[in-house]
Amino acid sequence: AHTLFNLFDNPNLYTIMNFYINLFKPAKIIDKFLNTIKPQLVNSLIKEKTSNVKDDKFLQWFVGFSDAESSFMINLKNNREVHFIFQITLHIDDIAVLYTIRDKLEIGVVSIKGNTSSFHIRSFLVIVENLLPIFDKYPLLTHKQLDYRDWKNAVILKKLEQENNKSLNVETFKKIVDIKNSINRSRTNYEGYILSSDMINTNWLVGFIEGDGTFYFSNSSVVFGMTQKDKKILEAIASFLQLNVPLSPPYLNLVIPNKLNCIIKNNTNAYQLVIIDKDVLFQYICPFFIGVTFYSRKGIDFSIWSLVLYIFIFGYHNLTLGREILLKLSNNINSKRYFSDLSDFIGVDEIENLFNIEPPFEIQSGKSHFILAKEYSYLKGSRKGFKIYIYKNGLEIQGSPFDSFRSGAKAISLKSSSSIRNYLNTGKIFKEGYTFYSSPQSKKE
């Protein structure tokens, strides 16, 4: 049986759990959370004096992050002055990564305005001597490479004028204005865009994912993905993952999953790359990202997502405690981590209690997760007397109990029964006061 001790023999899960242990012990949850996950000011960050080494790996990461989050801007003043700005703007809760960038590069300024924070470089000398060499050595890979190319050309135009001890003449100013009006959202010309999968490296990819990637889950699925308007970059990333991410099963005797397969969907306004096969996520994607360095709070998302993946792989999502933990985790990941109410934050003891329970799935049985889930669902659905009790504001609704999730969902006008499955026996209130149970509850006094 896979008890907590057995599970922690797996170095991947030990790494994930160690994140929680280091995060919450011995400091109070609230203090540790505010100091580690949500640093608002530079004084709340713990930095080492050696953290500003400009190593190649970090610069590659920085370029990937810039591909996702940066802007190359040109500001005009008095119809003669030109100012160049490189900027990365994030939610204020993500300010820590901007301080990391500033301290690693030893250039730039971090500022706060409202609920946003920005890293920006305005010094023309710093742009010429420090910033341009980074992007020249480690090229941007998305369409942003075209914005950088044209922005750099405008910088050079101004630099040449300065070298000749001249102010911008009318002709040069007009050229720069034309460039300003043709980059970023105004771009219509994509000639010269160069990209292939062999241009991608792991550090660039991690930086890009920290900006535009997502680790997310629902009550029935675990997903790694990213969304872009440019299909070509997603195809290149898919090819890189398929060629460079090895099969790394965290346990012996696991079913050999399908090859790493990336699905690219054509949504209304953009393309989406997703990986949804849980065995592939468990044996390819999760081990791969455990071995990389995250600089932003995306690392927190990944740690939470990894715990969720383990919960699903072992079938714990079928248990009441598992669903309760999933609900709490869902309120602390991705966009939901921008919050101030910590009442629903998960404790490591809850996770330990869950993993001490005999797992519903025997993952070393040689069966895929899909087969294990199907078999479990069949056994659960075939139980005689299985009922769904639905309450609204503590009172059982008309028609309850129901013989299936579907009939219960229909009774309260839900298009899908997934929410009932997710909230079943958790005691959590769904929407307009609904609670769901598999056994009758005492009426409110």
Question: Which CATH number belongs to the domain containing residue 66 in this structure?
Answer: 3.10.28.10
CATH of the domain at 426: 1.10.10
Residues 156 and 95 grouped into a single domain? yes
Residues 213 and 345 grouped into a single domain? yes
Which pairing describes strands 116-121 and 213-217: parallel, antiparallel, or unpaired? unpaired
Angle at 30 between CA 29 and CA 32, to 5 degrees: 65
Q: Is residue 370 part of a domain?
A: no
Q: Is residue 375 part of a domain?
A: no
Distant-in-sequence, close-in-space partners of 374: CB < 8 Å, separation ≥ 6: none
Nearest to 282 by CA among 259, 252, 248, 258: 248
User: Which one of 307, 339, 355 terminates a domain?
Assistant: 355
pLDDT score for 338? 56
Nearest to 128 by CA among 99, 157, 167: 157
Q: Which two tokens mark 368?
A: 């895929």
Residues 222 and 182 grouped into a single domain? no
Residues 79 and 224 grouped into a single domain? no
* Backbone torsions φ then ψ of 90, nearest 5 degrees: -135, 170
Q: Is residue 191 part of a domain?
A: no
| Signed CA dihedral, 168, 171, 177, 179: sign only | negative
Q: Are the CB atoms for 375 and 318 separated by under 8 Å?
A: no
Residues 177 and 296 grouped into a single domain? no
State how far the Cα of 239 lies from the Cα of 200, in Å rounded to an integer: 10
Residue 110 amino acid letter: V
Q: How many Å is the Cα radius of gyration of the chain?
A: 26
The structural domain count of the chain equals: 3
Residues 133 and 163 grouped into a single domain? yes
User: Which one of 355, 370, 401 terminates a domain?
Assistant: 355
Residues 8 and 119 grouped into a single domain? no
Residues 28 and 171 grouped into a single domain? no
Which residue stretches of the chain have pLDDT < 70?
A: 1-54, 334-346, 378-385, 443-445
Q: Are the CB atoms for 87 and 163 separated by under 8 Å?
A: no
Residues 74 and 164 grouped into a single domain? yes
The DSSP call for residue 245 is -
Q: Are the CB atoms for 60 and 203 separated by under 8 Å?
A: yes
> pTM for this one?
0.78
Angle at 239 between CA 234 and CA 243, to 5 degrees: 150
Nearest to 281 by CA among 253, 250, 252: 250
Q: Is residue 373 part of a domain?
A: no
Residues 180 and 315 grouped into a single domain? no
Residues 158 and 247 grouped into a single domain? no
Across 176-288, the runs of DSSP E, i.e. the strands, are: 213-217, 222-228, 263-266, 271-275
Residues 318 and 204 grouped into a single domain? yes
Q: Is residue 390 part of a domain?
A: yes
Range of the domain at 172: 50-140+143-186
Q: Is residue 394 part of a domain?
A: yes
pLDDT score for 52? 42
Q: Is residue 56 part of a domain?
A: yes
Q: Is residue 193 part of a domain?
A: no
Quick one: the chain helix, strand, coil %, rounded to 5?
A: 50, 15, 35
**Burial class of residue 233, CB neighbours in 10 A (0-12, 13-18, 19+):** buried
Q: Are the CB atoms for 421 and 220 separated by under 8 Å?
A: yes
CA distance to 66, 233, 243, 341, 434, per residue, from 200 (Å): 14, 10, 11, 39, 48
User: Which one of 186, 220, 253 terminates a domain?
Assistant: 186
